[in-house]
């Protein structure tokens, strides 16, 4: 015990956070999704978040965009913001080179408004070999990504055991902090450690252990400890159960959207992870179910360029919220849509989609 009473600790945190903002610093990293940020301000310290969606909807792309790309860009553009970011990305599904290629694709789009998909990037089709201009632009990105890996990002693509993952993260914390009166104190209080797991159903259970038990132990024992003891902000990508892929109909034959959208009860392989999480964010693609309209948005025109982001759980704020976004899967980009009733702005979105489909 530190001897500090609970009220004093809470009060000091309140005043400390206020003083940081008044001095020009921030207490979380914004997502650049303004409507969502009214309820979920961004990447917060000591917060365990689950991103969930059905297979192929774009949850990994959203994780990379919010918690790697935009988080790093914010820190890089605001070096005096009072947060030093350290990301540990555990690629449980893809290998590190493909992970890096997805970041390269987004950077090409961000800098040059160039849409290059992964097949073209790797010259998979003889008739569509990567052009020399793009090759030169990619060469020019080396310094940016070297700096990212040197200062911020650590990528793992072979660690899949819950114990080994936990040991790697705990070892980093122990090497960069100390214990005072049984309380862990980081050497740099401004460092925000963000371990990302994509996706959790690909963890490697111990011998004789089921995947459900491995996920439960990893979440309740390891991730909760990393959050509570070491102040980390774990981000877990977790699929929705395959049962959510099945159409559910009313007696009149119409699809029940609420049964198709991601839910806490629909988390695959172990739905109890949501009990440990502070935040659960869902991603929904109504076009795959041939739903013509969603929350006022014309899905027939939006097609697969529409994604709904929902806040399914928010331990310290409002939940059951949804934000419509324009989704460009080629470059892993999510942008909040105008209000569905704004015909002028939405017509511009439809025109953009027509251009992208050409």
Q: Is the pLDDT of residue 14 over 60?
A: yes
pLDDT in the model for residue 251: 45
DSSP string computed for 264-285: GGGBSS-TTHHHH-SEEEEEE-
pLDDT in the model for residue 259: 76
Percent residues over pLDDT 90 in the chain:
88
Query: Which pLDDT tens digit goes with each residue over 29-42?
Result: 999 999 999 889 99
Instruction: Give the mean model confidence (pLDDT) for residues 92-96.
Output: 92
pLDDT in the model for residue 248: 55
pLDDT in the model for residue 246: 58
Instruction: Give the mean model confidence (pLDDT) for residues 143-155.
Output: 97
DSSP string computed for 13-46: HHHHHHHHHHTT--SSB--S-HHHHTTS-SB-TT
Omega before 199 within 30 of 0, i.e. cis: yes
pLDDT in the model for residue 258: 66
Instruction: Identify which has the larger pLDDT, 358 or 240.
Output: 240
Q: Where residue 319 falls among pLDDT bands split at 50, 70, 90?
A: confident
| Residue closest to 50 by CA, chosen among 265, 273, 232, 244 | 273
Q: Does domain 30-278 have CATH number 3.40.50.300?
A: yes
Instruction: Give the mean model confidence (pLDDT) for residues 197-218.
Output: 96
> Measured between alpha carbons, how far is residue 187 from residues 48, 72, 177 in Å?
22, 21, 5
Instruction: Give the mean model confidence (pLDDT) for residues 69-84.
Output: 96
Q: Where residue 149 falls among pLDDT bands split at 50, 70, 90?
A: very high
pLDDT in the model for residue 325: 98
Instruction: Give the mean model confidence (pLDDT) for residues 42-63.
Output: 96
Q: Where residue 262 falls among pLDDT bands split at 50, 70, 90?
A: very high
Who contacts 294 (Cβ-Cβ below 8 Å, separation ≥6)? 257, 284, 286, 306, 308, 324
Comparing 108-112, 145-149, 181-185, the range with the smallest average pLDDT is 181-185
What are the backbone dihedrals phi and psi of residue 303, each rounded to the nearest 5 degrees, phi first? 55, -135
Q: Where residue 252 falls among pLDDT bands split at 50, 70, 90?
A: very low
Which helix (H) or strand (E) segment is 219 a member of? Answer: none
pLDDT in the model for residue 232: 98
Domain definitions of the chain by residue range: 30-278
Where are the extended beta strands (E) located within 158-304?
A: 177-180, 183-186, 191-198, 235-239, 279-284, 293-294, 297-298
Q: Is the pLDDT of residue 108 over 60?
A: yes
């Amino acid at each position: 015990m530190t001897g500090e009473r609970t009220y004093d600790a809470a009060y000091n945190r309140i005043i400390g956070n206020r003083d940081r903002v008044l001095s020009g610093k921030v207490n979380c990293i914004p997502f650049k999704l303004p409507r969502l940020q009214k309820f979920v301000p961004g990447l917060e310290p000591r917060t365990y978040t689950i991103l969930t969606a059905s297979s192929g909807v774009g949850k990994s792309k959203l994780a990379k965009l919010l918690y790697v790309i935009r988080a790093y860009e914010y820190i890089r553009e605001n070096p005096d913001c009072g947060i030093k970011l350290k990301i540990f990305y555990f690629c449980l599904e893809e290998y590190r080179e493909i992970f890096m290629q997805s970041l390269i694709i987004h950077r090409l789009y961000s800098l040059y408004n160039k849409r290059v998909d992964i097949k073209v990037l790797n010259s998979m089709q003889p008739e569509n070999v990567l052009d020399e201009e793009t090759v030169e632009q990619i060469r020019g990105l080396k310094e940016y990504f070297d700096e990212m890996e040197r200062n911020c990002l650590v990528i793992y693509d072979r660690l899949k055991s819950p114990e080994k993952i936990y040991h790697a993260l705990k070892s980093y914390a122990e090497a960069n902090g100390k214990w005072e009166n049984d309380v862990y104190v980081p050497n740099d209080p401004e460092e925000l450690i963000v371990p990302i797991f994509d996706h959790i159903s690909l963890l490697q259970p111990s011998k004789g252990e089921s995947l459900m038990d491995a996920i439960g132990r990893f979440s309740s024992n390891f991730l909760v400890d990393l959050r509570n003891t070491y102040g980390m902000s774990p981000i877990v990508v977790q699929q929705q159960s395959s049962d959510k892929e099945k159409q559910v109909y009313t007696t009149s034959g119409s699809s029940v959207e609420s049964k198709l959208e991601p839910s806490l009860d629909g988390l695959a392989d172990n739905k109890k992870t949501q009990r440990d999480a502070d935040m659960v964010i869902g991603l929904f693609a109504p076009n795959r179910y041939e739903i013509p309209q969603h929350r006022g948005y014309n899905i027939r025109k939006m097609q697969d360029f529409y994604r709904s982001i929902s806040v399914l759980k928010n331990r310290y704020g409002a939940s059951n919220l949804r934000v419509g976004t324009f989704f460009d899967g080629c470059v892993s980009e999510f942008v909040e849509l105008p209000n569905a009733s704004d015909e002028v702005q939405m017509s511009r979105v439809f025109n953009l989609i027509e251009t992208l489909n050409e």
